C-alpha cells in the first residue's frame, strides 16, 4: 500500500498552505491535474475546483470535503478516513457503501466497474 506523501508541485503547496482560492486561479483550464498519492490530512478543501484532478491513492484523513463536486475526479485508492463529506458529489462508480467504509474505517476506495 502506498503511503501519503508531500508532493513537490506548486499547486500542491498552495493547497497545503490553505490557499484554495490561489489553487483554483492557477489550476490549468485544460488537462488533468496530478495530485496522486498526496497527503491532504486535515485540509479545508470546501471551495476547491476538483474538476479533472487525479487524487488516486490520496489521503484525506480529517479533511473537509463538504459540498465538493468530485464527479470528474479520480479517487481510486484514496482514503477518506473521518473526512467531512456532507453534500459532496462522488463519481457514479463509487457506491455509497464504499464511501462510508472509507470514511468510517479508512479503507481505500474501490470503483465498481460493473455499471
Distance in angstroms (rounded) separating the CA atoms of residues 50 and 115: 23
Domains of the chain: 1-115 (2.160.20)
pLDDT at 113: 65
**pLDDT tens for each residue of 43-80:** 999 999 999 999 999 999 999 999 999 999 999 999 99
- Residue 74, classified by CB atoms within 10 Å of its CB into exposed (0-12), middle (13-18) or buried (19+), is buried
The pLDDT value given to residue 11: 97
pTM of this structure: 0.93
Which residue reads 501519503 in cell numbers?
4
Burial bucket for residue 68 (CB in 10 Å: 0-12, 13-18, 19+):
buried
Residues ≥6 apart with Cβ < 8 Å to 18: 43, 44
- Region 27-33: mean pLDDT is 95
**For the chain, what is the mean pLDDT?**
94
pLDDT for residue 112 = 76
Amino acid at each position: 500500500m502506498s503511503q501519503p506523501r508531500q508532493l513537490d508541485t506548486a499547486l500542491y503547496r498552495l493547497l497545503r498552505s490553505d490557499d484554495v482560492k490561489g489553487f483554483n486561479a492557477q489550476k490549468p483550464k485544460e488537462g488533468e491535474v496530478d495530485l496522486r498519492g498526496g497527503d491532504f490530512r486535515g485540509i479545508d478543501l470546501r471551495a476547491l475546483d476538483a474538476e479533472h484532478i487525479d487524487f488516486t491513492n490520496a489521503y484525506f484523513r480529517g479533511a473537509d470535503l463538504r459540498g465538493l463536486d468530485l464527479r470528474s475526479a479520480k479517487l481510486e485508492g484514496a482514503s477518506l478516513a473521518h473526512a467531512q463529506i456532507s453534500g459532496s458529489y462522488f463519481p457514479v462508480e463509487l457506491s455509497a457503501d464504499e464511501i462510508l467504509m472509507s470514511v468510517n474505517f479508512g479503507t481505500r476506495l474501490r470503483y465498481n466497474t460493473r455499471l
